[in-house]
Amino acid sequence: MELVAGETNPRSLSLAFFSESRIRSLSERLGHSKLRDLIEAIGTVINARMNRDGDLCGWKAPGGTIKFKSPTTPEEVSPDAAGAYIAVYFDQVHPIYPFLDRQSFEEKASNRDLPAYLAQNPAFSALYHTVLALGCQYTEGGSFEIGKGKAWKLYQIALGLFPDLLLPREALENLQAITAMTIFALNLSCIQIEETLISEAARMAQALGYNRTTSIDAGHRTFWVIYTLEKTTCFFAGNSSELSDFDIGCPIPDIPEAVSGGVDWFLSSARFGRLVSRAYEMLFSVTATMKTPEQYFAAIDNVNDDLEQWRNSFPDDFRPGDAFRPGNCKTSWSLLISLRAQFFYYAVVIALCRLTLHVGAGTTSERMEDAKKRLMHIARQIIENTRYIDAEPYTPIWMLGVIPLSALFILFDFVVHNPSHPETSTNLALLDVAGGYFSRLEYATGGSLPSSILSDFAHIARQFVRDINPDERIPNDITRYTPYLSTKTYEGMPNDTQPMTYLPTHLPNNHIPMHNELANDASAPYTDPLFYPTTDLQPLMGGDIPSGFDITSLFDAVIPDFPNL
DSSP 387-439: GG---STTS-HIIIIIHHHHHHHHHHHHHHH-TTSTTHHHHHHHHHHHHHHHH
99 and 13 together in one domain: no
How many folded domains does the chain comprise?
2
- Write out the residue range of the structural domain in which residue 245 sits: 67-258
Q: Is there a contact between 549 and 234 (Cβ–Cβ < 8 Å)? A: no
Q: What does the alpha-carbon distance between residue 38 and residue 454 come to, in Å, rounded to a whole number?
A: 8
CB neighbour list of residue 77: distance below 8 Å, 6 or more residues apart: 85, 132, 154
Report which of 17, 43, 562, 54 is spatially closest to residue 26, judged by C-alpha positions: 17
42 and 111 together in one domain: no
247 and 280 together in one domain: no
Q: What does the alpha-carbon distance between residue 428 and residue 508 come to, in Å, rounded to a whole number?
A: 10
Instruction: Look at residue 101 and tell me if it is in a domain.
Output: yes
pLDDT tens, position by position, 170-205: 899 999 999 999 999 999 888 889 999 999 999 999
53 and 87 together in one domain: no
Percent of the chain with pLDDT over 70: 78
The residue from 232, 258, 284 where one domain ends is 258
Q: What does the alpha-carbon distance between residue 339 and residue 320 come to, in Å, rounded to a whole number?
A: 8
- Taking the CB of residue 565, how many other CB atoms lie within 10 A of it? 15
Total residues found in the chain within this entry:
565
Q: What is the dihedral of CA 528, 321, 310, 332, to 10 degrees?
A: 160
CA separation (Å) from 90 to 100, 333, 395? 9, 10, 17
* Strand pairing report for 3-4 and 481-485: unpaired
Q: What does the alpha-carbon distance between residue 410 and residue 427 come to, in Å, rounded to a whole number?
A: 10
Q: What does the alpha-carbon distance between residue 534 and residue 283 come to, in Å, rounded to a whole number?
A: 17
HSE-up (13 A, CA, CB side) for residue 467: 12
Could you tell me the pLDDT band of residue 237, with boundaries at 50, 70 and 90? confident
Instruction: Look at residue 560 and tell me if it is in a domain.
Output: no
Q: Is there a contact between 399 and 343 (Cβ–Cβ < 8 Å)? A: yes
447 and 487 together in one domain: yes
Instruction: Look at residue 35 and tell me if it is in a domain.
Output: yes
pLDDT tens, position by position, 295-352: 999 999 999 999 999 999 999 999 999 999 999 998 999 999 999 999 999 999 999 9
Could you tell me the pLDDT band of residue 38, with boundaries at 50, 70 and 90? confident
- Pick the range with the lowest mean pLDDT from 83-87, 237-241, 445-449, 480-484: 480-484
Q: Is there a contact between 174 and 168 (Cβ–Cβ < 8 Å)? A: yes
Instruction: Look at residue 559 and tell me if it is in a domain.
Output: no
Instruction: Look at residue 551 and tell me if it is in a domain.
Output: no
144 and 283 together in one domain: no
Could you tell me the pLDDT band of residue 518, with boundaries at 50, 70 and 90? very low
219 and 280 together in one domain: no
Phi, psi torsion values for 237, nearest 5 degrees: -90, -5
457 and 509 together in one domain: yes
State yes or no: pLDDT of 386 exceeds 70: yes
278 and 194 together in one domain: no
* Radius of gyration for the chain, computed over Cα atoms and rounded to the nearest angstrom: 23
Q: What does the alpha-carbon distance between residue 364 and residue 357 come to, in Å, rounded to a whole number?
A: 10
Could you tell me the pLDDT band of residue 418, with boundaries at 50, 70 and 90? very high
pLDDT tens, position by position, 424-469: 999 999 999 999 999 999 999 888 888 899 999 999 999 999 998 8
The residue from 258, 289, 320 where one domain ends is 258
Q: Considering the entire predicted model, what is its pTM?
A: 0.84
CA separation (Å) from 565 to 246, 368, 374, 534? 35, 12, 22, 15
Instruction: Look at residue 552 and tell me if it is in a domain.
Output: no
